[in-house]
Amino acid sequence: MTAADDITRAVALLRAGELVAFPTETVYGLGADAQNPHAVAKIFAAKGRPADHPLIVHLPEAEQITQWARTIPREAIALARAFWPGPLTLILKRSEIVPDAVTGGQDTVGLRVPAHPLALQLLAAFGSGLAAPSANRFGKVSPTTAQHVRDELGDRVPLILDGGPCQVGIESTIIDLSEGTPVLLRPGMISPGEIASVIGREVRARAPAQAGTRVSGMLEAHYAPTTPLRLLDGSAFAAALQSALDAGRRVGVVSHVACPPALVQTVRWLCLSSEPRAYAHDIYASLRMLDEAGLDCIFVESPPPDAQWAPIRDRLLKSAAGSGGASV
């Protein structure tokens, strides 16, 4: 079957109200016709996702924003021109075509145009918006390959389009423009500084406990492996690792440095890049690999406190909370 055949089959399934998993540049999405509440309900059932947790609508082109949002600030247009297609989601006041099933009953909708060529082919052929959260069980590690989706959801998805490993590897930046002031709701690889350089003013970060728009990835526990994960800084990392080994525990490690020779035979050690974009590309696949290794615990050495590492630290903190591990 050719890629064109796959797209044709995917569009037919989507128009019939079925689910299709597809790659984006961030993670693989679990897509349904965003204007079909019954199809959208299948996303929540497949993922085990709470019904009040809103979805992001993926569009084939930026021009369709006028169909999905009723109020579009100039700053939204500027950001769309600067970063779409790409890993940026804009929260705007929703139009009348957006069903409650997509927004969790809120008056806002998240919109973006993904950068993956296969996603854009699918969206162009479908001709409208696809509601698509990450293609995994709710709260678990997001998938960055088609095999991750197969492993996680199996036959709950009629079709998985394989576009290879995702280029970015973590979810999109989410900016709320629905109330006028730009607010960062979820950090991503497009930074607040890059956004500010386009719109000419700073982006405010919403405090975790502050009430407001609900969006994907805002829960304190999320992106979690089944194996308990601990995110540890500095000397605490070495001390915790030694304590676990002394207790005879099977340990996995994610670090910026190579495994010490003395531990090569006893620790499942993954050394990731010290460059944030390369690290982000690999982190979810690494957590999945360790989660499947029959370990007792996973220790992740905390990334640097620099702003460019903020989205990665956000994901790891939530992974630790969601897995029942701890962070220091």
H-helix segments, 109-256 = 117-126, 146-153, 192-199, 234-246
Q: Say how many Å lie between the first and final Cα of the chain, rounded.
A: 50
54, 205, 136, 168: CA torsion to nearest 10: 130
pLDDT digits (tens, 9 = 90+) for 115-171: 999 999 999 999 999 999 999 999 999 999 999 999 999 999 999 999 999 999 999
pLDDT digits (tens, 9 = 90+) for 185-211: 999 999 999 999 999 999 998 765 555
Distance CA 147, CA 296 (A): 24
pLDDT digits (tens, 9 = 90+) for 70-115: 999 999 999 999 999 999 999 999 999 999 999 999 999 999 999 9
Mean per-residue pLDDT for 257-282?
95
Backbone φ and ψ of 296, nearest 5°: -90, -30
Q: Give the DSSP letter string of 43-61.
A: HHHHHT--TTS--EEE-SS
Q: What is the pLDDT of residue 156?
A: 94
Mean per-residue pLDDT for 35-63?
96
DSSP-derived pairing of the beta strands 56-58 and 130-131: antiparallel
Single pTM value for the model = 0.94
Minimal CA–CA distance to 25: which of 83, 85, 76? 85
Is the pLDDT at 218 greater than 70? The verdict is no
Q: What is the pLDDT of residue 328?
A: 46
Question: What integer best gives the mean pLDDT of the chain?
Answer: 94
